[in-house]
Structure 1
Amino acid sequence: MSIRTYWLAPIRGSKLLSFLFCGIIATRMEAKVLLQKLNPFKECTEYNLSIWQCPSFIFLVLGLVNIAAMIGTYLIANRYTDQPEITAFIVIGISLFIFITAHSITDGFDKLAQANKMKTEFVSIASHQLRTPLSSIRWSLNLIKDGKCSQADNATFIGLIQEETDRMIRLINDLLDVSRIEMGKNTFIPRQTNIYVLVQKIVNNSSLYARANNIILQLEASETLPNVYTDPDKISLVIQNLIDNAIKYTKGKGEVKITLAEERKFIKATIQDTGVGIPQNQQKHIFQKFFRSDNIMKHQTIGTGLGLFIAKAVIEQSGGQVWFESEEGRGTTFYFTLPVYK
């Protein structure tokens, strides 16, 4: 061995060890990533799906069932019976199980497709609904900054900025509420609530808005109604949203009527308007996230389509129900019930 080879041998050996060590680390990392990808429960949790709606888990089950079916059929057919009818029944039973499992897989893919669609709609609506008030705020600030407007005009612009800021805050709060509802983490604190006082206060606060839109707003309810069991803060937002919608989507001179009545162990609320109504072929989508009917979009472009989704979740969380009746061009009536406080 030459002197050069003698000195280089340890260096080459150390490089070889380094390469081997790096290869082992990389292999372990790849194996860890692969195991994470093969973990069906992680995907189920990530997409907020039940196990039997999670494609990766169902694929795993389906594979195991296929393997077990082939082995089981072979053993039964060759060792335990010589009757082909029994084997045929086993095959039919396994085929039915696989068919049902395949249906669950399809349903799981539908859920993922819907989630992806909702994500796209969320980006579109959020960007549109935030861009409009931000543009108004920027325009108002530029006018104030130029110093060419009177104090009265500046006060108007500041009021506009406040209004648009409140609008963005409401949008963000709605989006946060939707996220909490879907994750099952919506904060809900039910307690004894005087529904008459609560609704009367909302009607009084909405009267100016109603008059500005040439709408007659009236409440029919008895002051002696029993209290209900719900979260007063959340149900206030629900009732406010329903009344605002009734006013907003009634064009020209119209009427919005709110009625409260006791029915068995519930208080039934009715909010009736003489507005544009909801097309028959779109009524089944009314409580879905981001949905807004075509005729409403013609009259009112501002809106997220989140209010009724949140309303349904809050009312059902209270132990009540919500439904509606509508005829396009003649108006809509929303009904909901809340349990009487025991």
Structure 2
Amino acid sequence: MTRFSGKILLAYFAAILLAVIAGDLLLIRFLENLLLANARQDLQQEWFESYPSLQGAVVAPSRAQELSGRLEKLAQDTSYRFTLFDLSGTPVADSRPGQPPDSGGLPRIPEVRQALQNGQAFALRAAAGEASQWLFFAKLTEDAVFRVGVSTSGIAALLNRVRLYLWLATGLLLAGTWLFYAALLRRANEALVRFRKMVRGFEQGDYAQRFLVLSGDQVGERAESMNTLAKDLEGKIRALAEERNRLKAILYTMQEGVIVLNADGNIALFNPAMRRLFGLDETALGKPPITVIRNADLQGVVDQCLSGQPVENRELRVIQGGQERFLMLQATPFSGKSEPLGAIIVMYDVTNLRRLERVRRDFVANVSHELKTPLTSIQGYVETLLDSPGGAEQTKNFLAIIDANARRLSKLVEDLLRLSEIESQQFVLRPETFPAAELVGEVLDLHDALLKRKDIRVEATVTPEGLSLHTDRMALTHILSNLLENAVKYGKPGTAIRLACRQDGDTARFSVQDEGIGIAQAHLERIFERFYRVDRSRSRQEGSTGLGLAIVKHLVQLLGGEIEVESAEEVGTTFRFSVPHSVI
């Protein structure tokens, strides 16, 4: 039982007790008066019925015995007491001679005195020798005062019984009230426990629980209200959760990095893309962006956005992990009704775009340069021939130079077209089955003259000897031819080139190793870029377009393989590539 309900119950009991006490006083007094009034009427009635038997009797002390006998006879089988007094108020005869007489003269017997004075009188008082009070009625006659009395012990007993019944009823009422209140309180407590459990469930996000409504009283009404509230909350929370999940799904699948800042400018949320961009973890939450992304320009954007000014399409240059990156940024503040709540910053990596723009610029510049050089040479020799034709030998030399530059232009255009075809995915693979040794032999035959001219030998191996390949023969021929041609061009006279093909599980692995001048480590990362040359002047002398290795890389990837290079200056270079069994 709670303190509050205990106080209510005690107050209720106190009110009942006060009401019972007041009722006891008023009811008992009322009943007592009523019973005494009836007793007075009975005494009067008894007096008038008894007195005629005494009328005419001489009331004198000398006749006391006779009179007492007559009074005893009157009192026989009754509860009344009869007494005769002379006119002086002295008792002469009594129906109860064994009882101590009421004596002492006029002043000691109030009803006799009043009867002598007023003709009749009632008196309620204690009688000599009696434990209870008596009610007396005395009336004056011609020569005496005749008094009738009756004990009020019966009235007192009746009143005591009434009082007992009253208190017993009160006790039963209190007990019944207690039991009823206990049952009601238990039901209310059970309802409160369910209410409390339901509220705790709300705090934990459980809005599916419902009350079982068993009655239409206040508890039932409250239960119905709680059920309605729970249903409304469940619907709203479900809608909010669905909206949150949609937003979360959008946020977490965005390729752009997103940071949400609170009103203090600290990080409140970031998505996986932002985690990947800057290597953030959960420790970044609650910190200013400048502490985890050390970039003054970014902090300037944050300050501007938190001041209420949006930022659009601002590019940032950041150094992350020793690498330069370019980020395009947009920042938007958001606020409540009267105060700012924070900002949302969206970043997307444009590093590849900037790299492609640089590659495009370099490509245009390189193509322009590669085309301009042979065209200038051709134009110069043609003008020379037209302006001053020389002898046959000079003309032949000039035409040979023109032919070499024309071939260089043709090869450049051919490589550009092939590279464009591969990059635009217009190159169609035509797989066929053929022996690997046969392919290697064809590639060696194509470069036989160049090998002899440079005095370089080739050591070719195919493991196992009967290995057959199922792939695009022309593409693989182009790859091996380009790698072998480079090995010959940059190899040293009198050295060897090792060309190997071997089966490795589900993969065919090729390698071309020379003993040439090698490539510096600084150039290895860019060796497969278009028009990238380690030694530009020597490459042009060798007739290189700068596109060969770029085409090789794209063809290897088109076949589903990978290519890598190892090199050491003045030691040699090794190109390795693989073709998975899914293509072979």
TM-score, normalised to structure 1, is: 0.64
Distance 1:100 1:182 in 2: 32
How far the C-alpha of 1:167 sits from its partner, in A, is 1.9
Q: Name the counterpart of 2:199.
A: none
Distance 2:452 2:276 in 1: 57
- How large is the RMSD of aligned CA atoms in angstroms? 3.6
Distance 2:512 2:424 in 1: 30
How far the C-alpha of 1:273 sits from its partner, in A, is 0.7
Q: Name the counterpart of 1:333.
A: 574
CA contact (8 A) 2:463 2:503 kept: no
Matched residue SS, 2:517: coil
CA contact (8 A) 2:533 2:539 kept: no
Q: Name the counterpart of 2:451.
A: 210
Q: Which of residues 126, 130, 142 is equivalent to 2:371?
A: 130
More helix per residue: 1
How far the C-alpha of 1:212 sits from its partner, in A, is 1.8
Q: Name the counterpart of 1:22.
A: none
Q: Which amino acid aligns with 2:472?
A: D
Segment drifting more, 219-228 vs 274-283 = 219-228
**What does the per-residue CA deviation read over 1:56-76, in whole Å, with 9 as the maximum and x for residues that have no partner?**
xx5xx96xxx8xx79xx99xx
Q: Using a 3 Å threshold, how does the CA distance of structure 1 residues 161 and 194 change in structure 2: closer, same or farther?
A: farther
**Correspondence list, 1:39-188, <5 A:** 58=256, 92-93=268-269, 95-96=270-271, 99-100=274-275, 105=328, 108-142=349-383, 144-145=385-386, 146-150=388-392, 154-188=395-429
Q: Name the counterpart of 1:33.
A: none
Q: Name the counterpart of 1:19.
A: none
CA contact (8 A) 1:250 1:273 kept: yes
Q: Name the counterpart of 1:319.
A: 560
Does residue 219 (structure 1) correspond to residue 466 (structure 2)? The answer is: no
CA contact (8 A) 2:363 2:530 kept: no
CA contact (8 A) 2:254 2:273 kept: no
Q: Using a 3 Å threshold, how does the CA distance of structure 1 residues 259 and 115 change in structure 2: closer, same or farther?
A: same
Distance 1:220 1:136 in 2: 43
Distance 2:273 2:578 in 1: 43
Q: Which amino acid aligns with 1:286?
A: I
Q: Name the counterpart of 1:277.
A: 518
Q: Using a 3 Å threshold, how does the CA distance of structure 1 residues 52 and 171 change in structure 2: closer, same or farther?
A: farther
Distance 2:574 2:457 in 1: 16
Q: Using a 3 Å threshold, how does the CA distance of structure 1 residues 92 and 276 change in structure 2: closer, same or farther?
A: same
Q: Which amino acid aligns with 1:173?
A: E
How many residues are aligned here? Answer: 262
Matched residue SS, 1:229: strand
CA contact (8 A) 1:229 1:339 kept: no
Q: Which of residues 460, 468, 471 is equivalent to 1:230?
A: 471
How far the C-alpha of 1:310 sits from its partner, in A, is 1.6
CA contact (8 A) 1:249 1:299 kept: no
Higher relative contact order (CA 8 A, sep 6+): 1
How far the C-alpha of 1:227 sits from its partner, in A, is 2.4
CA contact (8 A) 2:520 2:568 kept: yes
- Could you list the runs of 5+ residues in structure 2 that have no partner in the other structure? 1-252, 279-326, 329-346
Distance 1:171 1:236 in 2: 19
Q: Using a 3 Å threshold, how does the CA distance of structure 1 residues 194 and 171 change in structure 2: closer, same or farther?
A: farther
Matched residue SS, 1:308: helix
How far the C-alpha of 1:132 sits from its partner, in A, is 2.4
Distance 1:315 1:238 in 2: 8
Matched residue SS, 1:337: strand
How far the C-alpha of 1:97 sits from its partner, in A, is 5.9
**What does the per-residue CA deviation read over 1:228-266, in whole Å, with 9 as the maximum and x for residues that have no partner?**
232222222221111111111124443222222333233
- Could you list the runs of 5+ residues in structure 1 that have no partner in the other structure? 1-50, 75-87
Matched residue SS, 2:375: helix
What is the aligned-residue identity percentage? 24
Q: Which amino acid aligns with 1:212?
A: R
Distance 2:408 2:268 in 1: 59
Q: Name the counterpart of 2:222.
A: none
CA contact (8 A) 2:439 2:477 kept: yes
Does residue 300 (structure 1) correspond to residue 539 (structure 2)? The answer is: yes
Distance 2:500 2:276 in 1: 48
How far the C-alpha of 1:274 sits from its partner, in A, is 0.8
Q: Which amino acid aligns with 2:484?
A: I
TM-score, normalised to structure 2, is: 0.39
Q: Which amino acid aligns with 2:470?
A: Y
Structure with bigger gyration radius: 2
